Amino acid sequence: MTTPTTNPDDTRSKILDLAELLWLGRGFNGFSYQHISRELGIKNAAIHYHFPHKEDLGVALVQRYRRRLARYIEAQTGLDAAGKLERFLQLADTYYANDRQICPSGSLSVEFHTLPDALRGEATLFIQDMVDWAVAIVKEGKASGAMHFSGSEEDMAALLCAGLQGALQLARLAPQLLEQSKAALRAQLGLPPGGPVT
Amino acid sequence: MTTPTTNPDDTRSKILDLAELLWLGRGFNGFSYQHISRELGIKNAAIHYHFPHKEDLGVALVQRYRRRLARYIEAQTGLDAAGKLERFLQLADTYYANDRQICPSGSLSVEFHTLPDALRGEATLFIQDMVDWAVAIVKEGKASGAMHFSGSEEDMAALLCAGLQGALQLARLAPQLLEQSKAALRAQLGLPPGGPVT
DNA sequence: GTCTATAACGTGATAGAC
DNA sequence: GTCTATCACGTTATAGAC
């Protein structure tokens, strides 16, 4: 999930890789084609060849990310619910370790009102992916007896998504909030403090 | 907490009021002096008179907001812990009802890496205010027996801040997530589903 | 597929008149 | 305290040569 996927030698992939870094570090409105062209040693127009409008780049970023997420989820088929939850929480750690990036859903939702139409559509699909994943984990956990909590699975899954997204953002200003929020989520799910391995 | 405070007739206050709307609707990088001058029927230069740099406007916005929040918190002195929690959760509803705004901490943390220095400093102070408030509510709730949950008060308070911030953002793309997250927070705090009045 | 060159525009910002 | 006028710059985007 951490490493981008396509051939790192072709320019299109290099653009996507760098754009993703900038996107999650600075927001979609926080980077320009100049940031990319300067860093890659190519010209502005070369990026426009691959992605005529910035909207096209944004859509490609979200679509590529959704495909990666689907593979990430699929790779967890063998794990139990507690293990799957740790993978979910791990995502946040990975972002944070990577120059304190935030998660895609955070950028997309905060900037939503300023995003081009097509990107808003992709964003909505992506958020649905995330929520579905959280619901599946929590339902499996409750059904298997590994997790126990009050309230519905859907509510708990919503808090899981929202809490992790918010914690990752707040960690930029108050780093301890990420670990604290994760600990609270584990506790509220009836899981041991350090995750299944501790 | 919803309504700005200073004299609505002088230009400086009008600028701040409108800028706050734009800030929480589109992010700090999502609005310009033109947005404000056009809407207020004044010129770009008039805003620069009151706030020479956009950084100055941002600092003024956060400082004013912190003062309002302090009064909002102080006004709850008579309430019990459950009542104070509802006031905390209510903030999110107010934002959402107001053109699906997000909370200041959300904007400040997501855009953090692109903000001018002075604004980053104010942002850090503001987040500390929020977290302190959440910790106080949760501690009082646990001490009085009104709330019961596993894990530390600090962890729970972190999840409270992070969860509400994330839920408010995600509600732009999936509106049910706000109510669901709030319900989950109440449930995890050992409170009745609809808040103290239901 | 990448380049040069350039257009059209928005943005933050300032000088100086009133 | 607000205005006109203007600036320098960054941004998205396109045409056309190589």
Tell me the pLDDT tens digit for each residue of B47-94: 999 999 999 999 999 999 999 999 999 999 999 999 999 999 999 999
Residues in contact with A179: Cβ distance below 8 Å, sequence separation at least 6, in sequence order: none
- Please give chain A's pLDDT, 198 residues, in tens: 755 655 666 999 999 999 999 999 999 999 999 999 999 999 999 999 999 999 999 999 999 999 999 999 999 999 999 999 999 999 999 999 999 999 999 999 999 999 999 999 999 999 999 999 999 999 999 999 999 999 999 999 999 999 999 999 999 999 999 999 999 999 999 999 876 665
**Looking at residue B151, what DSSP letter applies?**
S
Cβ distance B113 to A172 less than 8 Å, yes or no, reads yes
**Residue type at B6 in one-letter notation:** T
Provide φ and ψ at A75, rounded to 5°.
Answer: -70, -5
Helices marked H in A75-194 = 81-97, 104-110, 117-144, 153-170, 176-188
Task: Using the structure, give the distance in angstroms from the CA atom of B166 to the C1' atom of C8, rounded to a whole number.
Answer: 38
What's the pLDDT score for residue B195? 64
Nearest to A160 by CA among A184, A143, A144, A140: A184
Per-residue pLDDT tens digits for A21-65? 999 999 999 999 999 999 999 999 999 999 999 999 999 999 999
What pLDDT does B126 receive? 98
Cα–Cα distance measured from residue A34 to residue A52, given in angstroms and rounded to the nearest whole number: 14
Tokens standing for A197? Answer: 């391995």
Interface contacts A/B by beta carbons within 8 Å: 193
- pLDDT value at residue A129: 98
User: CA B48 – C1' C14 distance (Å)?
Assistant: 10
Chain B: residue whose CA lies nearest to A191: B150
Query: In the predicted model, what is the mean pLDDT of chain A?
Result: 95
What pLDDT score does A4 carry?
A: 62
Segment B83-134, tens digit of pLDDT? 999 999 999 999 999 999 999 999 999 999 999 999 999 999 999 999 999 9
Q: What is the reported pLDDT for B171?
A: 98
Determine the Cα–Cα distance for residues B113 and A45; give it in Å rounded to an integer. Answer: 27
- Whether the CA torsion A4, A6, A11, A12 is positive or negative: it is negative
Contact A79, A35 (CB under 8 A): no
pTM: 0.96
